[in-house]
Structure 1
Amino acid sequence: MIRPFGWNEFLIIVMAAQWTIALSAIAFAGGGIGGLLIALIRVSDFRLPRLIAIGFIRLFQGTPLLMQLFLVFFGMNILGFAINPWLAATVALTLHASAYLGEIWRGCIEAVPSGQREAATALGLRYFNRMRYIVLPQATRIAVAPTVGFLVQLIKGTSLASIIGFTELTRQGQIINNATFSPFLVFGTVAAVYFILCWPLALLARRMEQKFSRATAR
């Protein structure tokens, strides 16, 4: 039986945003750890780990996120590991974020003038201390804007988790639409919630980029 789209349906969609936020936060945190590791490996002096990191980045940047979700969810079940949509979405998005953040942060590390690293090496600092005290503090400022920008893309990317049955914002919208058959109201509400989540972050990324550009020009 078709029911009208009302206040309760609106609240159900809005409340589903908490799962979108939770999935984005976990994937971003896990991707941050993995991305930092990958970025450090990419700029290290060890050839084999560098090649492995490059292969990882190319694999996840060269395939659609939707396929990655399918492979994690269905692949793990085929191999005999029972995995629910929540865990599958978390793993796939974390790996996806690790690849992209690793490449973003690798670029930011390499954007630090080489003279800084050479001076640190001349002072006798080893790789770990060079990164910790000299390179990473400078690279962090460069990385803020693109990192926030990627977070916006990650939040929107969580909508694909609905394909494997994870009930986040988009999936909840689909469920409500099947019950009310009011696609314009339902998906208009879903789009508005995504906009409210992403627009402030997009503005923050833009302002941070402008601030960094002004600081660099001085």
Structure 2
Amino acid sequence: MLREFGTDDILLLLTGAQWTVLLSLIAFAGGGILGLLVAVGRALGPTPVKLITEGFIRIVQGTPLLGQLFLFYFGFSIFGFDVSAWVAVSVAMIFFSSAFLGDVWRGCIEAVPKTQWEAAEALGMSFFEQLRYVILPQAIRIAVPPTVGFMAQIVKNTSLSAVVGFVDLLRVGQLVTAATFEPFTVYLVVAFMYFALCYPLSQWSRHLEKKFNAAH
């Protein structure tokens, strides 16, 4: 039986938005850890590591996220693992985020002048000390604006998880639409909620970019 779109439906959409935010945080945290390893391996690792990390980046960036979601969701079952949509989507989003963050951070590491490496080496620092105390602090300063900007992309890309049954903001919107048959109203509210999540991140990214550029 159809019903009118009301306050209860907005509360349901807010619940879906909470799951969207949680999935985004997991994707960013897990992708950040793996992405740092990818970035360091791609920029500073031996040739085999560089080739592996470069291949990983190209494969992930060269294939649609939707296909990756299907691959992880159905791929686990091929190997006998019965995983929930939550696990499959989280793993897929972590790999997706790590490839893009790793590529961004690789560029930031390589943007640090070689003279900084030479100066740190002259002070008797080991490779890891150079990386920790000299190179990464400078690379992080360069990386902050694009990283914050990519966080908005993560939030928007989580909407694809609805295709494998993960109940995020978009999926709840689909369910509410089926119950109310008011797609325009429902998806207008859904779009506004995505905007409310992503716009502050985009503005923060622009602010940080101007701030750091002015500091140079």
Q: Tell me whether the two structures share a fold, i.e. TM-score over 0.5.
A: yes
State how far apart, in whole Å, the 1-side matches of 2:79 and 2:179 are: 35
Give 2:27's aligned residue.
27
State how far apart, in whole Å, the 1-side matches of 2:126 and 2:63 are: 37
Unaligned runs of 5+ in 1: none
Give 1:194's aligned residue.
194
What amino acid is aligned across from residue 64 of structure 2 in structure 1?
P
Give 2:181's aligned residue.
181
Q: For residue 164 of structure 1, report the CA deviation from its aligned partner.
A: 0.3
Quote the RMSD (CA, aligned, Å): 0.9
Give 2:206's aligned residue.
206
Give 1:82's aligned residue.
82
What amino acid is aligned across from residue 3 of structure 1 in structure 2?
R
Q: Identity over the aligned pairs, expressed in percent?
A: 53
Q: For residue 121 of structure 1, report the CA deviation from its aligned partner.
A: 2.2
| Local SS of the residue matching 2:28 | helix
State how far apart, in whole Å, the 2-side matches of 1:73 and 1:110 are: 35
Is 1:91 the counterpart of 2:91? The answer is yes
Superposition pairs for residues 52-201 of structure 1, below 5 Å? Answer: 52-201=52-201
Against the structure 1 CA distance between its residues 45 and 74, is the aligned structure 2 distance closer, same or farther, given a 3 Å change threshold? closer
Give aligned pairs, total: 216
Of 121-130 and 107-116, the range deviating more from structure 2:
121-130
Of 63-72 and 43-52, the range deviating more from structure 2:
43-52
Give 1:43's aligned residue.
43
Q: For residue 45 of structure 1, report the CA deviation from its aligned partner.
A: 4.2
Q: For residue 78 of structure 1, report the CA deviation from its aligned partner.
A: 2.1
What amino acid is aligned across from residue 178 of structure 1 in structure 2?
A
What amino acid is aligned across from residue 160 of structure 1 in structure 2?
L
Q: For residue 42 of structure 1, report the CA deviation from its aligned partner.
A: 1.1
Q: For residue 83 of structure 1, report the CA deviation from its aligned partner.
A: 1.0
| Local SS of the residue matching 2:3 | coil
Alignment deviations for residues 106-155 of structure 1 (CA, whole Å, 9 cap, x no partner): 11111111110121123332221111010001111111100001100000
| Local SS of the residue matching 1:43 | helix
State how far apart, in whole Å, the 1-side matches of 2:207 and 2:78 are: 46
| Local SS of the residue matching 1:151 | helix
State how far apart, in whole Å, the 2-side matches of 1:90 and 1:17 are: 16
Extract structure 1 runs of 4+ deviating beyond 3 A: none
What amino acid is aligned across from residue 89 of structure 1 in structure 2?
V
Unaligned runs of 5+ in 2: none
| Local SS of the residue matching 2:44 | coil
State how far apart, in whole Å, the 1-side matches of 2:148 and 2:117 are: 26
What amino acid is aligned across from residue 102 of structure 1 in structure 2?
G
- Normalised by the length of structure 1, the TM-score is 0.97
State how far apart, in whole Å, the 1-side matches of 2:161 and 2:28 are: 15
State how far apart, in whole Å, the 2-side matches of 1:204 and 1:127 are: 33
Is 1:16 the counterpart of 2:55? The answer is no
State how far apart, in whole Å, the 2-side matches of 1:50 and 1:150 are: 23
Against the structure 1 CA distance between its residues 20 and 45, is the aligned structure 2 distance closer, same or farther, given a 3 Å change threshold? closer
State how far apart, in whole Å, the 2-side matches of 1:156 and 1:4 are: 27
